[in-house]
Amino acid sequence: SIWVVNEFSVVTSISSIPRGYNVEHLQQFIVNHWYLWLLLIVILGFIFVNELIAQKKRAKEISSHEMVRLMNEGKTLVIDLRDADSFRAGHIIHAIRATADDFMQSRMDKYKEKIIVLVCAKGLQSTALAAKLREQGFTKATVLAGGMNAWQTADLPLVKGK
């Protein structure tokens, strides 16, 4: 048997507490402190809405193998955001090297309706740029999850030079 001390310092067995005892106290607390419950609901609502907005802005990430599938279907444009030396050392076939400035100067506007896969070294730089591009109307901007590191880990081919 479990023994508890209630608010009157009386030791009783839990089995001897009348049914509904806790529910009645909870109801009484809610009624007496309705403003706290309302505040809790409002705060939870703000958190929920903020998370929805963040999800909508966040770029979709695709795996290396999903990218290969999309490339084979001819549905993607691969944009490599790494520096020129890294690009020449090895890049994904048919990838275009570009910088964030190229997007900011409207050079890439012709690709707004195409599925764009942004690739960087580890997937960090491309994620930040993809969020900005979504705000500019590039609704299909996606990111290669893990960047070139993931591509190489998956042992997928690279083109050297150019």
Which residues does the chain have with pLDDT short of 70?
1-21, 57, 162
Determine how many CB atoms are found less than 10 A away from the CB of residue 71. 18
The predicted structure's pLDDT at residue 38: 92
pLDDT value of position 138: 83
| pLDDT computed for residue 47 by the predictor | 94
Instruction: Please report the pLDDT score of residue 4 as a whole number.
Output: 52
CA–CA distance, 157 with 4 (Å, rounded to integer): 68
pLDDT at 15: 53
Looking up tokens 């402190």 gives 33
Which residues, including other chains, have CB under 8 Å from residue 70's CB and lie 6 or more apart? 62, 76, 115, 117
User: How far apart, in whole angstroms, are the C-alpha atoms of residue 81 and residue 94?
Assistant: 14
Q: Please tell me the predicted confidence (pLDDT) of residue 42.
A: 95
Residue 5 has what pLDDT? 53
Residue 45, pLDDT score: 94
The total number of residues shown for the chain amounts to 162
- Label the pairing between strands 96-97 and 60-62: unpaired
Place of tokens 């999309």: 70
